[in-house]
Amino acid sequence: MGKSGFKKLSLPPLHLPFFKRQTLSLGLDIGSHAVKLCELAETAEGYQLVALGSALLPPDSLEDGALHDPVAVGKVITSLISNLNIKHKKVAISISGYSVIVKKINLAVMTEEELEKHIESEAEQYIPFDIADVYLDFHDLKTNTATENRTDVMLVAAKREVVDGYLDMLRTAGLQPVVVDVDAFALENAFEASYGLADNVVLVDIGASKMNINIISHGASILARDVVLGSRQLTEQIENLFGIGFAEAEALKTGEMVSEEKREELAGLFANTCSQWVTEVKRALDFYYANHPDEKIAKIVLSGGGAKIQGLPDFFAKETDIAVEIFSPFKQAAVDGRIIDPAYLKSIAPEMALAAGLATRPVEV
Ligand SMILES: Nc1ncnc2c1ncn2[C@@H]1O[C@H](COP(=O)(O)OP(=O)(O)OP(=O)(O)O)[C@@H](O)[C@H]1O
Ligand SMILES: [Mg+2]
């Protein structure tokens, strides 16, 4: 494959605390249920939350992480940006699902240039896609030691067709995409912006149609897994059980609507779904402990709209025997309560984790 075929995606920056730039990209998380947007500014005291909002997408706008209806999604994004009065055009998005593969490979230590050449010519042996069809990127984790002249390298391959679908949609909406990240990495960035270096934590994002499980040890992702389970499954079960429509089922699920006579049956559905979710997390934990028996997981941090089910943290804690908390992505950020309503911020915060992580990405100047 020629040089022209190699296009770089952007991976999270290295941890260089002294290398601060002024401008940050807009964080845009295009989920299957809603688009979430976050703008941060970097000040001498840390991050400041400038703007925040979300807007629902029509059903079936996305499919397996790929855009299914770019026109509808573009319209929702344009009106969200205009409602929030955002003038900034540079956006960071992230992708996940079948179209992206993240793989850790172990290689002899090389310079950045040698590494690029090596990956360009050898990628085919690491990933199951045709190399002509993907964007490739890599990140040297620099795990080499004085005695071991090899290093782990994180390799990312993303289907061009899917990435280009997002880029075209954003450009048509008048935006300038500057970063394409991977969901799991964006979540990790959000965690570090709020909690510091991630050490032996499990990040679990439960969205509408997928959950992402990411185990991080000493600041590096040990396991990142997407599972096709989410909060929409609950809505569908509620629709089927009571023969009602989507909107009513959503309202019953989120607690916006209360029905005493349906309470018991709803509790049964919730328990069943939450058990499925925790089973997936336990599976990931088993895998982790098989390889790292002495490195105890310190906590599980839940994000995404699905994490807002009442009692979910306690249920996870009981089932895993690990401390559980809800992701608070703006813990360290300065927030002006006159611009962003504190009650809204509190209720939307768990869904905003990914957008917050994307909003920490510096814009190249
Ligand atoms: N209180 C609540 N209890 C249960 N589910 C909730 C609650 N509030 C919101 N949700 C659900 O969370 C989902 C939306 O969460 P989120 O915005 O994280 O998903 P998404 O990012 O659009 O989806 P995905 O990441 O799967 O593509 C919806 O299914 C919504 O019904
Ligand atoms: Mg999501």
For the residues 107-118, what does the mean pLDDT come to?
93
Q: How confident is the model at residue 66 (pLDDT cuts 50, 70, 90)?
A: very high
Strand, coil or helix: what is 151?
A: strand
Do residues 162 and 311 share a domain? no
Pair 245, 190 in one domain? no
Domain-located, residue 351: yes
Give me 273's structure tokens.
Answer: 């779904």
The length of the chain is: 365
Structural domain includes residue 87: yes
The Cα–Cα gap between 347 and 340 comes to 12
β-sheet bridge partners, residue 153: 105, 140
User: Is the CB of residue 254 below 6 angstroms from any atom belonging to ligand 1?
Assistant: yes
Give me 335's structure tokens.
Answer: 């927030």
Alpha helices in the chain (DSSP H): 70-83, 112-126, 160-172, 183-195, 231-242, 246-254, 263-291, 312-320, 342-348, 353-358
Same domain, 320 and 332: no
289 in the same domain as 150: no
| Within a domain: 224 | no
- Give the pLDDT score at 29: 98
Predicted pLDDT of residue 22: 53
Cβ–Cβ < 8 Å for 363, 90: yes
Confidence band for 198, pLDDT divided at 50, 70 and 90: confident
In single-letter form, the type of residue at position 129 comes to: F
346 and 276 in a common domain: no
Assess if residue 179 is contained within a domain: yes
Q: What percent of the chain has pLDDT over 70?
A: 94
Ligand 2 centroid–CA 106 distance in Å is 30
Give the Å distance between the CA of 37 and the centre of ligand 1. Answer: 15
> Are the C-beta atoms of residues 173 and 71 closer than 8 Å to each other?
no
pLDDT tens digit string along 221-278?
Answer: 889 999 999 999 999 999 999 999 999 999 999 999 999 999 999 999 999 999 999 9
Banded model confidence at residue 344, pLDDT cuts 50, 70, 90: very high
Whether 352 has a pLDDT exceeding 90, the answer reads yes
Q: Is 94 in the pocket of ligand 1 (CB under 6 A)?
A: no
199: helix, strand or coil = coil
Q: Report d(CA 42, CA 320) in Å as an integer.
A: 37
pLDDT per residue over 150-177, tens digit each?
A: 999 999 999 999 999 999 999 999 999 9
Q: What is the CATH number of the domain that holds 316?
A: 3.30.420.40
Is residue 252 within 8 A of residue 238, CB to CB? The reply is: yes
In a domain, 210, yes or no: no
Alpha carbon nearest to ligand 1 atom 5, residue: 306
Answer whether residue 15 shows pLDDT above 60: no
Computed over its alpha carbons, how large is the radius of gyration of the chain? 21
Q: Which atom of ligand 1 is nearest to the CA of 35?
A: 22
The reported pLDDT for the residue numbered 44 is: 87
Q: What are 26's strand-pairing partners?
A: 91
Q: Is the CB of 65 under 6 A from ligand 1?
A: no
Q: Is 164 in the same domain as 84? A: yes
Q: How many CB atoms lie within 10 A of CB 220?
A: 14
pLDDT at 32: 96
User: Separation of 109 CA from ligand 2 center, angstroms?
Assistant: 36
Say whether pLDDT at 111 is over 50: yes
Ligand 1 neighbour 81 (Cβ under 6 A): no
Looking at the structure, tell me whether residues 153 and 32 fall in a common domain: yes
Give me the number of domains the chain comprises. 2
Domain contains 42: yes
Within this chain, do residues 283 and 164 fall inside the same structural domain, yes or no? no
Quote the pLDDT of residue 150: 96
Output the residue whose Cα is nearest ligand 1's atom 25.
207
Predicted local distance difference test score (pLDDT) of residue 143 = 87
Contact of 207 with 305, CB cutoff 8 Å: yes
Same domain for 146 and 237, yes or no, is no
214 found inside a domain: no
| Shared domain check, 181 and 238 | no
In a domain, 25, yes or no: yes
Check if 49 has its Cβ closer than 6 Å to any atom of ligand 1: no
- For residue 127, give both structure tokens: 């990933």
pLDDT range class, residue 56, cuts 50, 70, 90 = very high
Q: Does residue 250 have its Cβ closer than 6 Å to ligand 1? A: yes
pTM, full prediction = 0.91
Phi first, then psi: what are they for 300, rounded to 5°?
-110, 130
- Domain limits for position 294: 231-325
158 lies in the same domain as 295:
no
